[in-house]
Amino acid sequence: MGSQKQKRYFFNVSMAKKFMQTFLVSEACKELIDSGKTTSIRDLYYVTKHTIGDTRQSTFEEQDESDPIIEDLEVTVDALREELHLFAARKGSMVGPITITDSGDTIDLRRMGSGGWAVPSIVEENVISFGRHEARYVLLIEKDAVWTRFNEDKYWKRNHCIIVQGGGQPPRGVRRLVQRLHRELKLPVYVLVDNDPWGFYIYSVMKQGSINLAYESMRMAVPDARFVGLSSFDKEKYALPNTVAIKMDEGDNNRAKQMLAYPWFKKAHWQREIQEMVRSGQKFELEALSRRGISFITEEYLPKKLKDRDWLE
């Protein structure tokens, strides 16, 4: 991490097993790359799990032993696990005015119906490439139900944007794809999440990267990503009644107070946002805007936010 390094010594008995595990995982990844096949990190655990010789000792007892080895390899060879042909769970959908090529198949994301294109885990250039598009920006939406509203209302068609949903905390594939859209197509990225500590954290992960994957932030994070809501001050601005508010619990308050100390939330406007949430003792889901009308979020709320440049960075 940064200038810090971890060393392992081959002739240290306590590190011998870790060395063996590292070479087992490395060998399995090389076989995947050579064969042109991919597999899940769960599959990899079973592929490399076996008894050592005539002993009763196993190469791996649980998956939580093999997963850190994958992270070590990512750092050591400066590659994403997806480039090592390993994938995580698929989650996320995308539609918009863009044509892509996925494993040789040309797909028009303007014609994806109600479900959208399922974002795969591996979205590197050798798998996914971008073609013709008319998009002006990318909108990442936290929740599937809200994404469905945007898709059904054809928000992306009226506003010439790509809408992506991450199903809560966006998985690696979604984050990497959004980062590529931003970097390669020069598209601004806006993030629409719930007004609660977890929504704010999702935004921070898109902007700064996650703590666990800090070593891959340069290829997953979008430092220029903008937060378009829900804001702690939107209750008053958009006349949301108390009946749609959710009371902050102890876990919410503790999490919010922790976030106040995060370096990336030190800016005055973020301090105000989080402090207001704690002060009011209330949080709001994106669906609370439906109290103003089923399509209020797509027809009035977000268009006004973007027109007024009412976002946080």
Q: Specify the CATH architecture of the domain 93-307.
A: 3-Layer(aba) Sandwich (3.40)
Q: What pLDDT, in 10s, does the model give residues 213-251?
A: 554 556 778 999 999 989 999 999 998 888 899 999 999
46 is catalytic: yes
Sign of the C-alpha dihedral computed for residues 181, 183, 184 and 190 taken in this order: positive
Q: Quote the pLDDT of residue 89.
A: 66
Q: Quote the pLDDT of residue 241.
A: 86
Q: What pLDDT, in 10s, does the model give residues 264-304?
A: 889 999 999 999 999 999 999 999 999 888 999 999 999 99
Tokens coding 194: 């719930």
**Residues pairing with 128 in the sheet:** 102
What's the mean pLDDT when you consider all of the chain?
88
Q: CA 215, CA 218: separation in Å to the nearest integer?
A: 8
Q: Quote the pLDDT of residue 178.
A: 96
Average pLDDT of the residues in 135-154: 95
Catalytic residue among 9, 45, 46, 201: 46
Q: CA 35, CA 132: separation in Å to the nearest integer?
A: 31
Q: How far is CA 43 from the centre of its chain?
A: 22
Q: Could you state, in order of their start, the residue ranges of all structural domains in the chain?
A: 13-87, 93-307
Tell me which of 10-19, 60-69, 208-217 is least confident.
208-217
pLDDT > 90: what percent of the chain? 52
How distant, in Å, are the alpha carbons of 95, 247, 258, 291 from that of 265?
Answer: 31, 23, 10, 30
Q: Quote the pLDDT of residue 12.
A: 80
Q: Quote the pLDDT of residue 64.
A: 85
Of 45-49, 75-79, 156-160, 229-233, where does the model show the most confidence?
Answer: 156-160
pTM score > 0.85 for this model?
A: no
Q: Specify the CATH architecture of the domain 13-87.
A: Orthogonal Bundle (1.10)
Check residues 194 and 65 and name the one with the higher pLDDT: 194
